[in-house]
Each structure stands twice: as C-alpha cells, then as structure tokens.
Structure 1
Amino acid sequence: MARFHRLKVTAVDRLTDDSVALTLAVPPALREEYRHTPGQHLALRRTADGRETRRTYSICSPAPGDGEGPHELRVGVRLVEGGAFSTYALKEIVAGDELEVMTPAGRFTLEPAPGLYAAVVGGSGITPVLSIVSTLLAREPRARFCLVRSDRTAASTMFLEEVADLKDRYPDRLHLVTVLSREEQQAGLPSGRLDRERLTGLLPALLPVERVDGWFLCGPFGLVREAERALRGLGVPRPRIHQEIFHVDAGGTAAAAPARPAPAHSTVTARLDGRGGTWPVREGESLLEAVVRNRPDAPYACKGGVCGTCRAHLVSGEVRMDRNFALEPEETEAGYVLACQSHPLTERVELDFDR
C-alpha cells in the first residue's frame, strides 16, 4: 500500500532554465519501502494555505540491485506554466528542506533482461527512461538500447550530461539519436517535429524494428500517440509497446457515451489496505472523491487520468471513465479502472485498491 513519508532534500541541481533535479535522502528504516523498479515514479505532496497539492515525478536514478533499498532517490521536475508544485520546486525548494513523498508506484517499467530495447521520448519524458537505461545496461551485459529523444533546443534538454555519460560508458550497447525541433544541429538529423510519417521512415533505418523486445514511449500526448501509430504501422505487436503520458491538453480525449444514464443515488464499497467501507457517492463526484472523503489514505496523485496511482479493480457494478492515459488495454479488459476518472453507472459499485 502506498504511503507518504518525509524525506530530506540533499541537493537541488539546475538542469536547464526551467527544470531541476531533486535528490532525496532515504533513511535506513525506509529503504525497503522505497525500493523501486526502473521507470517508476514518486508522488510529492505539499500543503499550503490549507490546500493540498500532489504531483508525480519519475525517478531518474538507477534502481538498486539485490540487498537493501536505495540510499537516495532523484527526480526531475520541469516548470509547467501556472504549475503550483513545479513553481514551488524551481523557486523555493533548497537543500535541507523536507518533502512528503509517496512510496514508488507506476507500471511503465523494465526489469533488466537480455535483449534489444528502444525508446522514443520527448522533453521531460527522458526522466523514467534514464532510470530504465542506466539500470539495464549496468546490470545486464547482454542488453542493448536505442534511445531516440526529441527536445526543442540543446539548452532545453534535461539530463544532457547524464545521457552523454551513459553513451561514453556503453558506446557499443547504447545507440543515441537526438532530434531538436526548433534548432539545427551541426551533425545528425535535421530539425523538426517527430510525427508518425517521420518516425515510420526513421526507426527502421536505426534498428531492426521487428526484433525489439520492448518499446518505451514517454512524453507529451502528441508525441506518444504519433510514435505508437508509427510502430503499429510497422507491424509491432501492441503488447511490446509501453507508454507513459506526461502532458495532455485540457480537452484530452472525450469519454465514450455512457451505456446507461447515471443512477439518482449510488454507493461505492472500497477495500483499501485490508479494510473496507461503503459510502454514498455525491452527484457529479468521482469514485475517488467519494472514497477520499472517508479514507484520506486512498492513493492518488494527478487526478487527471495520467499517472495511474489510483488504479483499482472493479469488483462489481459499472462505471464510466472520463479519460484514461495510464491503463493498458489488458488492464481495462481485466477489470481495472482509474478511480479519479470513474463515475457510477449502477446503484452499487465495488472497488478493490489492494488487488
């Protein structure tokens, strides 16, 4: 079960004009709880003026191997226009501060194994992939990785030195391709946006697409969507494609029309950390909101259908999800929903957050 603990900030490193990396010390008593799989993220919580703000940030540091959990964790934070937490992180957080940090979550992951892997990332989408690549190449000598990253300019590129160091350390096993959308490079690919048409031509020229054991797509919604369409057009089976969305426009993707009208009155029964309860769902609120009113320890972060922290198994009843950018088709087919986006379509709905 995800829990929050206070961790001390030991370093705040400026990456670009609009991004920083925060290093968090993990005390010995909490290291097992913060053991993570490469690609997972942390939810950070702040309460100011009586208002709580939560945001998720991917872990960019390598995952520890066998033995005790991590001594420290590092996350990348990019400033979002009007962003409550990112503004606080870039302008106020200093070494010595303490932050409320949820234990690791997320399924955009790769356990180190032999094979050929590849990623297409944009902007801050490099963050979880940096953990995936560094852990994979360090632990598995029979693994190779092709990283295609897109950024606006060289000056806006997060973790530029860290990726360059990996390339120097593993020159024969890491293939790095950088594309700048708003700046010409002296060498390499011409500038411009990575869309479906361009990726369809580029990827087969870089590596044998059909032999890649896993594709990792991360970044803004538009880039991830275009990359997925390109890969499917190239014949890549969908189970080999893993996605994590970092930014979605306010409109996003419209929800499908409900199969039936919402009931006048409904209840949600939820099992959470081994304990259950049943509560009324108020008109217009999500199932997560109904649960949190009664169980503040319910797991959630973004409330936008992106991070997947509030994933729960739908035991009974029917729901309508407004948006879903976190669950794979196999998960929804198996009965999982995002509680923050789910609204009841039956008088009784039962969720299991522990399953």
Structure 2
Amino acid sequence: MAASTPSPTPGPGRPARHGAFHRLTVAAVDRLTDDSVALTLAVPEELRAEYLHAAGQHLTLRRTVPGGTEVRRTYSICSPAPDPAGPGPQRLQVGVRLVEGGEFSTFAHKEVAAGDVLDVMVPAGRFVLEPAAAPAAGHYAAIVGGSGITPVLSIAATLLAARPDARFCLVRSDRTAASTMFLEEVADLKDRYPDRFQLVTVLSREEQEAGLPSGRLDQERLTGLLPALLPVAEVTGWFLCGPYGLVVEAEKALGELGVVRTRIHEEVFHVEDASAPAPAAATAAPAHGKVTARLDGRSGTWPIQDGESLLDTVLRNRADAPYACKGGVCGTCRAFLVTGEVRMDRNFALEAEETEAGFVLACQSHAVTEEVEIDFDR
C-alpha cells in the first residue's frame, strides 16, 4: 500500500498501462500446507519489463467460470523483487490459501497444474519497500498473520540481500505449525542472515515446545511483547499484513507505544463483515450525475446509473479499467479525485496520507456532486 518511506509512491513495476493482463504459463505448483499452494509463473522474455515489481506488490489472476462469470483474485508476490534496472523477472511466485467456498482458490488447489496458462495482471500495489530508498542501517519490522507472510517474505528477502546494513524483525502468527505457509523459506532467511533477521513465531491454537505461549496477538499482548523484542522507537518502517482484526490490533499497539503513523504500513488480506466498520452513511446521489475518467492517457465522460460506483460506470465504457476485489481491500482501482465530491463506502487499502492527498477507491466511491472527475494515471 505504501512505500517504506513516508511517500506512498508506487513501486518500479507499475506499468504505464493499467489493468493489462497477459497469459503466463504455470511452471510449478508446490503444496505448502494442507490448505495452501505456491504457484510459480514463467515470464517470457518479451514481457519481463512489464512484470518488474517492487517487493510487496501483488498480481491479480483472472479466470472465467462456467456460465461466463469472470472471477478475479489478488495474490501477493512472495519471490524476491528483481533489480529495477534489470530486464525483469524470469519467474514470479504467489501463495494461494484455500478459502471455504472460494472459486479461485479452489480452482488453484484442485485443478491448476504445471503447463497450464493463466491470465495475470501486471504487478500493482503500494505495500512496498524499496531497498534503494531505505536509510543507512535501517531497522524494519513486520507483524503478520496467516497468508500475510507472502508480501513480507518478498520484502524481507529483497531488503536483506540488497542492504547489508539493514535489519528485519518478523513477528508472525499462525493457527498451528502445520498451517504455517513458507516455513522453510523463512527458516532459510534466518540461516542466511542470523545477525540481521529476527524471527518470532506465535501459534494461536497450538502450544510450542519453545518460545512464546499460544494465543492471539491482540493489542495488549503486542504492547507488552514488542519492546522486549526490539527498540520500537528506532524502527524505520512497520509492515502489518493479514486479517483485518490482527492489523487493527497491531496498529493500536504501535500507537500506544508512540510509533508515528507515517512509519506504519498496512495491507489487509481478509475482512470479516462482523468486525469491519459499517459502510459510510448514504448521501443522496445527483439525479443526472456523470463521471470523467482518465485511464492510460485517454479520457471519457459517461452518465452514472442509479446506485453505481464510479468503477462500475467506467467499466461499462472501458473494460480495461483496473480492479480486482471490488471490496475496498486490494487497492487496484485507486484513482485521484480531480474534481467533485464522492462518498467512499469502505477503505481497507488506502493509507491516511493517500486519502488526504486526494486518492479514492473507485470501487467504493459514489458521486455526491453532479460532476466528478477521476484520474487512474496519477
């Protein structure tokens, strides 16, 4: 979502053409746990520049299910980021955890095999850390839950390899040892960087032979735990990733410990309706509203139909508009509000600095004024 420095700039992989999909071949499918797999995607030479990415960015995968419905799902890249000055990655890897009733995750677990071809959007996302922008002797930390390890694995591996003066502390929470994704990859980081990589594991439903007692990582527990692990005030950037509840509790703990908001970067992977804040109160929409949208250097103006989000209006006229989850979580549809006023129902993707700067989520935004202009190219 945001850079490790205060500016929420996109990573180097963000292409000029938004929302572009390409057909990539599945090079391997590796089972991580009983309910998670890693998909490795081969990137042909002619597309490698388009798949340059910063550590922490994600890919959107697309398929059409029987009946013609299009399904899109976003998965973080867990492989280290390539040199931004290089030709781009030969392979990309994402982790997919099985979700009960999930159309794409079930497909990935039961049907996808090496040699298959998938529709894959170019990298996106601002939950990134770029080693070149990291200060000398920077100290970073992450608090993750479950599959929230995937972008942080890329962030930690990329940073530690590129910056021999950097340190990284990872606090991860999982249900059980058997459900822990990328166990070997994280252990490998500990072996390679024993003096610079600190790992703390908490299991919520299983006791460990050594280490911390089991239980959830809530605000109270984190407030007591973090100062015992590392010098909280000296941490340059905090990366929080996982279920909504964990991210909120971690943010509260860091606030209580005096961490300034600009050092905290968040990405929510799953939002339970019961725990999420209610949508913003409805504001009467204009009777004859219209939206002007700029996308990939071209602009258009279209009428807004009753109840439509700005994204839905644009999609009726520009099928290439960028989106993935349509739930306010992934941030793929981020746009700059040029003129007019909108009501944004929910926001789990944009940080405070971004909304204050004028960015909105098109999938959650509804026009309040008769004319609204947004820019996907900013």
Q: TM-score, normalised by structure 1?
A: 0.98
Task: Check the 8 A contact 2:63/2:71 in 1, yes or no.
Answer: yes
Q: Distance in 2 between matches of 1:291 and 1:13?
A: 38
Q: Which has the higher contact order (CA 8 A, sep 6+)?
A: 2
Map of 2:94 onto structure 1: 75
Map of 2:4 onto structure 1: none
1:178-236: per-residue Cα shift (whole Å, max 9, x none)? 00000000000000000000000000000000000000000000000000000000000
Task: Check the 8 A contact 2:237/2:265 in 1, yes or no.
Answer: yes
Map of 1:257 onto structure 2: 281
How many angstroms does 1:254 deviate by? Answer: 1.6
1:288-308: per-residue Cα shift (whole Å, max 9, x none)? 001001000000001000000
Q: Distance in 1 between matches of 2:289 and 2:150?
A: 41
Task: Check the 8 A contact 2:289/2:367 in 1, yes or no.
Answer: yes
Question: Amino acid of the residue matched to residue 57 of structure 1?
Answer: Y
Q: Distance in 1 between matches of 2:210 and 2:353?
A: 41
Question: Amino acid of the residue matched to residue 160 of structure 2?
Answer: L
The one of 208, 220, 224 equivalent to 2:243 is 220
Matched, 1:57 2:75: yes
Secondary structure at the aligned position of 2:157 is classed as helix
Map of 1:238 onto structure 2: 261
Question: Amino acid of the residue matched to residue 295 of structure 1?
Answer: R
1:14-41: per-residue Cα shift (whole Å, max 9, x none)? 0001000000000010101000000000
1:72-117: per-residue Cα shift (whole Å, max 9, x none)? 0000000111111101001100000000000000000001133000
Map of 1:353 onto structure 2: 376
The one of 170, 194, 199 equivalent to 1:171 is 194
Map of 1:90 onto structure 2: 109
In structure 1, the gaps of 5 or more residues are none
Which stretch has the larger CA shift, 41-50 or 9-18?
Answer: 41-50
Q: Distance in 2 between matches of 1:276 and 1:325?
A: 27
Q: Distance in 2 between matches of 1:138 and 1:313?
A: 34
Q: TM-score, normalised by structure 2?
A: 0.92
Task: Check the 8 A contact 2:280/2:346 in 1, yes or no.
Answer: no
Matches within 5 A, 1:236-315: 236-251=259-274, 252-257=276-281, 260-315=283-338
Map of 1:15 onto structure 2: 32
Secondary structure at the aligned position of 2:37 is classed as strand
Secondary structure at the aligned position of 1:167 is classed as helix
Task: Check the 8 A contact 2:267/2:349 in 1, yes or no.
Answer: yes
The one of 123, 141, 149 equivalent to 1:104 is 123
Question: Amino acid of the residue matched to residue 375 of structure 2?
Answer: D
Of all paired residues, the percent bearing the same amino acid is 77
How many angstroms does 1:249 deviate by? Answer: 1.2
Which stretch has the larger CA shift, 211-220 or 65-74?
Answer: 65-74
Secondary structure at the aligned position of 1:304 is classed as coil
In structure 2, the gaps of 5 or more residues are 1-16
The one of 51, 55, 78 equivalent to 1:38 is 55
The one of 313, 321, 325 equivalent to 2:348 is 325
Q: Distance in 2 between matches of 1:24 and 1:326?
A: 26
Q: Distance in 1 between matches of 2:215 and 2:328?
A: 29
Matches within 5 A, 1:126-165: 126-165=149-188
